[in-house]
Amino acid sequence: MKKWFFLLVLLLIVSYGYTRFLPADTNGQLPEIDYQMQEEILQENDKAVPVTIEDIYKGNLVLINEEYPVSPSGAESEAITLSDHWESVNGFVLLDHNIRLAPSLLRSFSTMIEAASHDGVNHFMLTSGYRDTLEQGELYEELGPEYALPAGHSEHNLGLALDIGSTQGEMAHAAEGKWLKENAWKYGFILRYPEDKTHITGIQYEPWHFRYVGLPHSAIMYEKNFVLEEYLDFVKEQKSIVITLDEQVYEISYHPISQSTTIQVSANDSYEISGNNMDGVIMTVHTSNQDETQSNAARSEGNGV
């Protein structure tokens, strides 16, 4: 009898101690205060990047075609006339003195041309750069819909496209065209209207028309043989992609935008935002912590390339 009484008392003591230190109602979750403390720590290591509706229409990945025109907020406004800056015309010649490029695009183009010269390819001619809508309208009237797009629907109106020729012959056969087809992606450029994608782009094969999208996007598009339309669909479908390129880690993510908002990124990482000109933005984060990003990649829905 004493034995049973002792066991009963011990059971009551243990039960009281157990219930004494349980949260009142956990519902299968951590106590609220622990969760709040964790959230505060994350906020200290992150920064909130503001994103507005206007950001949908700006950036290196903006899609421009017959369906999606250049937004006034996305058009190039800093293009310079190259013939007024002859010191910047190195390694290539100009078709005429009216060609304009944005300084940032000129730097990327010049870097690419210099790399080609090291491979013995050095007969480049720049035939067209930035055009305003008035110039595009005149070109459309002159050439018609088979050879030009309406005003506002050309990538030249955006300021991220250029037409590159060769002084040695047609780009489809010249060494300059062949070199660019294989190497332009290394410098952020893509062949925008390839021969095997006319059913997607709606544009005939143009071996001279190159578009700047920037790394790492140009690398993925080259590796997967994507045109811009396909790539934007791919990013939207995957939602998040993590890749390693030249030992640099990038996370690319799609974010639908219907109102002004913020996107959280690590305070230690650099980033770029580009709209798709349709319904959202693509955030490209260049991380400073490769191990952490690769760990995140294992948990993401996207697949790296």
Sequence-distant (≥ 6) Cβ neighbours of residue 303 within 8 angstroms: 238, 241
The rounded distance, in Å, linking the Cα atoms of 178 and 180 is 6
Q: How far apart are CA 28 and CA 243, in angstroms?
A: 36
2: Cα within 13 Å, side-chain hemisphere: 0
78 given a catalytic annotation: no
244 is written with which tokens? 């390693």
Rounded distance, CA 288 to CA 250, Å?
9
CA 277 to chain CA centroid, nearest Å: 12
Are 242 and 90 spatial neighbours (Cβ–Cβ below 8 Å)? Answer: no
Burial class of residue 34, CB neighbours in 10 A (0-12, 13-18, 19+): exposed
Q: Where are the alpha helices (DSSP H) in 93-225?
A: 103-118, 133-143, 155-158, 175-183, 198-201, 217-224
Contact between 74 and 158 under an 8 Å Cβ cutoff? The reply is yes
Neighbours of 63 (CB within 10 A): 16
- Contact between 166 and 175 under an 8 Å Cβ cutoff? The reply is yes
Residue in 76, 155, 176, 206 annotated catalytic: 206
Residue 19 CA: distances (Å) to CA of 12, 25, 114, 204: 11, 11, 74, 75
Q: Which residues are catalytic?
A: 206
